[in-house]
Amino acid sequence: MSFINDHILTLVTFVPLVGSLALWTVIKRAEFARVFALVVALVDFVLSLHLWFRFDAGRGDDQFVERVPWLLNGEVSYHMGMDGISLVLAMLTTFLGPLVILSTWQAVRERVPSFMACILFLQAAMLGTFFARDMLLFYVFWEAMLIPMYFIIGIWGGQRRIYAAVKFFIFTMVGSVFMLVGILYLYFQAGGMGLTDFMNLQIGHDAQLWLFAAFFLAFAIKVPVFPLHTWLPDAHVQAPTAGSVILAGVLLKMGTYGMLRFAMPLFPEGVAAFAPAISILAVIGIIYGALVAMVQPDVKKLVAYSSVSHLGFVVLGLFSLTPLGVAGGIFQMLAHGLSTGALFLLVGMIYERRHTREISEFGGLAHKMPVYAVFFMIATLASVGLPIMAGFIGEFMILFGTFNSETLEHGRLFAILAATGVVLGAIYMLWMYQRVFLGKLSNAKNEGLTDLSLREVVVLLPIVVFIFWLGVQPSLILNRVEASVERVLAPLTAAVAEAQGTAPSHTGILLPDGQRAEIGTAFGSDHQKFLIRDTESQR
């Protein structure tokens, strides 16, 4: 048991990789490849449960750390670690893994072993990215994600798959190259590749701006942040369902994770300088993504643009630099992974039946496929952010945090503008739902449609359960990320405040209670006077 405990991160990361290699080399039969991949993904999920249950939520630092000197006399090390933020994203990855594989049971018929190998390889790379605490190791995992995704789109994709795959590849590569330059620069300064080595560096103001820009670009493309998003609709539309689910479910979060883990803590002066601009882009992304989603004739493209909108919320939350906004951002990453993952799965299911995703081809499907319609309704409402579903918690916390931000100028305005996304979300999702599912069954081609199979229900049900579970009991996640968020954020906000030339005020929620108790009693006695003082001090 202790062996497992000491090497759990390696195990969780490399079990799918080993499975991938087996599929690439030994396994030839499609049926066996499917079952094998599913078993590997399930084993990985079970292993990751160890992380979930053994994780000490009271600590914000890295746990299950493994560190072995690797290259250049230990300047580069195999350094894996996991805090609460990495934990919840890794769990999302291992949770979606088996479901994704199960969803391809009938959709993928060509070169099945290779396909499954790509999926598992991708999973390993994603998990490694979340766990890596050495920058070279991180970069290797980061780049390694590209390759299987490229193949998944380029080989098993739709008609314009090559275009989409190349576009995806070049976009991401361009960003990564800048980041690589940044990493090398820091390495030569620090004499080590460890994240802690980088954190301990004293970096000059201008260098911080440049480095932040380089890192941010790499991550912003991945998210994607407006206006770097145009690869996304193409990639989604061309990718097979499994590719889209992983792309939306986990890969996009690599960008926001990277911001929170690397770009922001390493370069607080960059954050201070660029946060207003980034927040503007995030808000534009929210509204723009929603408006463009609204007029899409293709369901999948609609969902793709909705991701631009939803991820805009995440970026806004992160750059609010409030504990609530950041935690909300993390929560929204999960919520979006679940709801959009479910939506892409659902779109894939109708595509398998009808080989089209044009909204105008459908109408009245609820008559023929009532179970499908119910699942789609739930996913729709989750995407819209209805309370007691996961999406509400994330959006609420993000908007609240942004509204409450002290470092972000015009935070309130941003929050108000972003909140219009909540209205727009309802418009494009419900309008789409109406045109696809309600009304009369207008198209004769839909007459022969069959409702969901048991396998399809099995794929969707766990996601739906968690959509509600997280909505009703968000503490499941929040408890586990709270300490880690504070650990990342406390030095960051202090540094940003310093860079902005303002001392951090005492109204942050995670500060000790002393001052507030005073405030409370002062209020009781002479509240009018106090109120005046309070409003003045806030100015």
Partner 1 sequence: MESHSTEILLRWIVVIPLLGAMVNGLLNRRLPKQAAGLLACAAVGISFAMSVIVFLRLTGMPAAERMVTDTVATWIGFGKFQVDLAFAMDSLGAVMALVVTGVGFLIHIYSLGYMAHDAGFQRFFSYLNLFIFAMMTLVLGENLLMLFIGWEGVGLCSYLLIAFWFNDEANAAAGKKAFIVNRIGDFGFLIGMFLIGVTVLPHLHEGEGLFSFQVLQHHVGILAPVATAICLLLFVGATGKSAQIPLYIWLPDAMAGPTPVSALIHAATMVTAGVYMIARMNFLFVLSPTAMGVVAAVGVATAIFASSIALVQNDIKKVLAYSTVSQLGYMMLACGVGAFGVAIFHVMTHAFFKALLFLGSGSVIHAMSDEQDMRVMGGLKTKLPITYWTFLAGTLAIAGVFPLAGFFSKDEILWKTFSGELGGVLPWAIGFLAAGMTAFYMMRLVVMTFYGKNRASAEVQSHIHESPATMTGVLIVLAVLSIVGGWIGWPHFMGGGAWFENWLEPVFAGAHGAGAAAVAGGHGAGHVGHDTTIEWILAGASLAWGILGLSLGYFVYTRKVSIAESFRRLGGGFPHKVLLNKYYVDEGYEAVFIRPGFKLSKSILWKIVDAGLIDGLMVNGSALVVAVLGSVLRIFQNGMVRFYAWSFTIGVAVFVLYLSFSG
Please, which of residues 503-532 interact with partner 1 by CB under 8 A?
A: 506-507, 509-510, 513, 516-517, 519-520, 523, 527-528, 531
The whole-angstrom separation of Cα 292 and Cα 301 is 10
Among 426, 476, 490, 499, binds partner 1 (CB under 8 A): 426
Site residues for partner 1, 229-288, by CB under 8 A, read 229-231, 288
What backbone torsions phi and psi does residue 68 show, to the nearest 5 degrees?
-130, 125
Among 4, 46, 199, 295, binds partner 1 (CB under 8 A): 295
SS3 79: strand
Site residues for partner 1, 68-87, by CB under 8 A, read 70-73, 76
Q: How far is the CB of 279 from partner 1 (least distance, A)?
A: 16
Site residues for partner 1, 179-238, by CB under 8 A, read 227, 229-231
Residue number, 450 or 538, with CB nearest to partner 1: 538
Contacts of 260 (CB under 8 A, 6+ apart): 85, 318, 326, 329, 330, 488
Residue number, 26 or 423, with CB nearest to partner 1: 423
Contact map string, positions 97 to 116, toward partner 1, x by CB under 8 A: --------------------
SS (H, E, C) 176-234: HHHHHHHHHHHHHHHCCCEHHHHHCCCCCHHHHHHHHHHHHHHHHHHCCCCCCCCHHHH
Amino acid at residue number 418: A
Residue number, 213 or 386, with CB nearest to partner 1: 386
The whole-angstrom separation of Cα 356 and Cα 68 is 51
**b vs e for 215-242, b when ≥16 Cβ sit within 10 Å of the residue's Cβ?**
bbbbbbbbbbbbebbebbbbbbbbbbbb
Query: Is residue 512 a contact partner of residue 519, using CB atoms and an 8 Å limit?
Result: no
SS3 373: helix
Contact map string, positions 403 to 422, toward partner 1, x by CB under 8 A: xx----------xx--xx-x
SS3 120: helix
Q: How far is the CB of 226 from partner 1 (least distance, A)?
A: 9
Q: How far is the CB of 45 from partner 1 (least distance, A)?
A: 27
Query: Is residue 383 a contact partner of residue 425, using CB atoms and an 8 Å limit?
Result: yes
Helices (H) and strands (E) in the chain, counts: 24, 2
Neighbours of 531 (CB within 10 A): 11
Among 94, 482, 487, 488, binds partner 1 (CB under 8 A): 482
Residue number, 105 or 400, with CB nearest to partner 1: 400
73: left (phi over 0), alpha (psi -120 to 50) or beta: left
119 binds partner 1 (CB under 8 A): no
490 binds partner 1 (CB under 8 A): no
- CA 306, distance to chain mean position in Å, is 14
Q: How far is the CB of 166 from partner 1 (least distance, A)?
A: 5
Site residues for partner 1, 139-168, by CB under 8 A, read 140, 143, 146-147, 150-151, 154, 162-163, 165-167
Residue number, 388 or 458, with CB nearest to partner 1: 388
Query: Is residue 249 a contact partner of residue 303, using CB atoms and an 8 Å limit?
Result: no
Residue number, 199 or 532, with CB nearest to partner 1: 532
CA dihedral 153, 157, 161, 165 (to 10 degrees): 0
Q: How far is the CB of 261 from partner 1 (least distance, A)?
A: 20
Residue number, 47 or 223, with CB nearest to partner 1: 223
Q: What value, to the nearest 5°, has the Cα angle with vertex 68 and ends 211 and 7? A: 110
Site residues for partner 1, 355-384, by CB under 8 A, read 364, 366-367, 381
Q: How far is the CB of 442 from partner 1 (least distance, A)?
A: 9
Site residues for partner 1, 381-400, by CB under 8 A, read 381, 386-388, 392-393, 396-397, 399-400
Contacts with partner 1: how many residues (CB under 8 A)?
A: 86
Among 276, 439, 462, 504, binds partner 1 (CB under 8 A): 439
> What is the residue-wise DSSP string for 439-501?
S----GGGTT-----HHHHHHHHHHHHHHHHHHH-THHHHHHHHHHHHHHHHHHHHHHHHHHT
Contact map string, positions 298 to 327, toward partner 1, x by CB under 8 A: -------------------------xx--x
